């Protein structure tokens, strides 16, 4: 079951447009993807994540990590000329073709670092929820809520 039609859900929900658009966009991204380059998404702890992507044959200069609004885009393009290297290889199993991977980020997810090590690109992410958005406890006062104290009252 590779396809999912969210239209019945969209008819019965109000205010969830962004979620439905994300579901629709993720299914379209997966259909056009050929699985290159492979990647892992790890949850390091409650608020830290890491995307690890296999980028053998790419240098730091060949890779681009961009965040715009809630979308992380990782792309790579080698500066080497493919036609000049074609005659030298008897077998070419390490792909260095251009790629672009997109990831939709949840609210308050920030990209903190990116580094290439041993043919792997590590992109570190952290969730930073502002204090105003965190849950807070409300003190419950004793007494009647309808009981109000009138300080000064004049007839109109």
Q: What pTM does this model have?
A: 0.67
Do residues 26 and 104 touch, judged by C-beta distance below 8 A?
A: yes
Cα distances from 46 to residues 88, 110, 111, 127, 129, in angstroms, run 49, 14, 15, 9, 12
Residues 92 and 21 in one domain: no
DSSP state of 49: E
Higher model confidence: residue 67 or residue 88?
67
Residues 17 and 41 in one domain: no
140 is a domain residue: no
Residues 52 and 123 in one domain: yes
Instruction: Kindly state the tokens that stand for 9.
Output: 């859900």
> 94 falls in which pLDDT band (50, 70, 90)?
confident
Residues 27 and 42 in one domain: no
147 is a domain residue: no
Residues 78 and 106 in one domain: yes
138 is a domain residue: no
In angstroms, rounded to a whole number, what is the distance separating the alpha carbons of residues 119 and 96? 12
Interval 20-78: pLDDT, tens: 666 666 655 554 457 889 999 999 998 899 999 999 989 999 999 999 988 999 999 98
> 88 falls in which pLDDT band (50, 70, 90)?
confident
Residues 13 and 47 in one domain: no
- Beta-carbon contacts of 37 under 8 Å, excluding residues fewer than 6 positions away, are 53, 54, 55, 76, 95, 99, 101
- Beta-carbon contacts of 117 under 8 Å, excluding residues fewer than 6 positions away, are none
- Beta-carbon contacts of 92 under 8 Å, excluding residues fewer than 6 positions away, are none
> 107 falls in which pLDDT band (50, 70, 90)?
confident
Query: Cβ of 33: how many Cβ atoms within 10 Å?
Result: 12
């Amino acid at each position: 079951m590779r396809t999912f039609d969210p239209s019945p859900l969209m008819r019965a929900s109000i205010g969830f447009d962004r979620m439905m658009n994300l579901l629709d966009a993720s299914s379209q991204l997966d259909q056009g993807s050929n699985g290159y380059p492979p990647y892992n998404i790890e949850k390091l702890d409650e608020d830290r994540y890491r995307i690890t992507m296999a980028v053998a044959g790419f240098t730091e200069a060949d890779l681009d990590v961009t965040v715009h609004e809630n979308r992380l885009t990782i792309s790579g393009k080698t500066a080497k000329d493919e036609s000049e290297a074609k005659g030298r290889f008897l077998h070419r199993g390490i792909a260095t073709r251009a790629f672009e991977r997109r990831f939709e980020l949840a609210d308050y997810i920030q990209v903190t670092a990116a580094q290439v090590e041993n043919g792997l690109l590590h992109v570190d992410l952290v969730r930073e929820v502002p204090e105003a958005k965190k849950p807070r406890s409300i003190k419950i006062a004793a007494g009647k809520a309808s009981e109000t104290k009138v300080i000064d009252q004049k007839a109109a």
